[in-house]
Amino acid sequence: MTNHTATYYQTHYAQRSRITTAASPFRWLRYAWQDLTAAPLISAFLGTSFTILCVLAYLAASSLPQFSASFLVFVLMVSPFIAAAAYCVVRTREQEERPTLHACFAMTRNRSASIALFSLLCALVVAAWVRLTSVTFALYYGTLGTSAADVVRVWTAGDGASALLVFLLSASVVLALTLFALGAIALPLIADRNCNVVDAVRIGLRTLRENSTTMLVWMLLLVAVIGSALASDLILMPLVFPLLAYATWHSYRQLVAS
């Protein structure tokens, strides 16, 4: 980072913390791209690590589809630690220092207890979502569980194909909204200040409520960018993950007052 850019971050975040518009998420992505190009090796390592995690979970779920939810929970338990390491990259650059993997993982290790509790909270949300979705699926379609075989059976039956699609999309949207509400601000807050999980989530929810339009645009951007990575069979994920992690840090720095 140049001294000019670092000074810009440090002197203007506080003034801009409450001045957000629908265009703010695009600015966060622009800052994130600057961070990514300034630390390409660390970014590639973090992005590749997350991609490998996703690939392993997908392969395991394909072999044992009845445990798909467990593998999703595993991804949610590990990925916050990788994201926290990514936040450290930007945090270090803001301090006009050179980010290193050792420093990133050292900061993550110092906050491991809070990050682990946050990961557990996300895992519990997913577990509850899976159980409620399974019960709803059973009440409507007459079979317990939403395994691949159950979905295919209902889909090929013809009568409930459109209803099934609406059901799956609605359930996925509910999960995505919940996880976004929990982690959009809370996780970078934990990584920055080692804040306890309860306070981090409370501040995060309040921030989302006060900046609802901006965060709605940000969430839609996240869906679009992540969707492009998934559509590429995860080929773009090593680039997308650090980019979105850095942008998430910038969203936190602008939205949360110091």
Nearest-angstrom CA–CA distance, 12 and 7: 8
Residue 44's pLDDT is 96
- Please name the residues in contact with 80: beta carbons below 8 A apart, sequence gap of 6 or more: 115, 118, 119, 122, 183, 187
Residue 47's pLDDT is 96
Nearest-angstrom CA–CA distance, 7 and 1: 10
Alpha helices per DSSP H over the chain: 3-16, 24-38, 40-63, 68-94, 101-110, 112-141, 148-157, 161-183, 186-193, 197-210, 212-231, 237-255
DSSP state, 67? Answer: G
DSSP state, 171? Answer: H
Name residue, tokens 């645009």: 217
Residue 162's pLDDT is 64
Token reading at 140:
């409507």
Residue 198's pLDDT is 92
Give the chain's residues under pLDDT 70.
Answer: 1-18, 66, 137-165, 257-258
User: Is residue 162 packed enough to be buried (19+ CB in 10 Å), middle (13-18) or exposed (0-12)?
Assistant: exposed
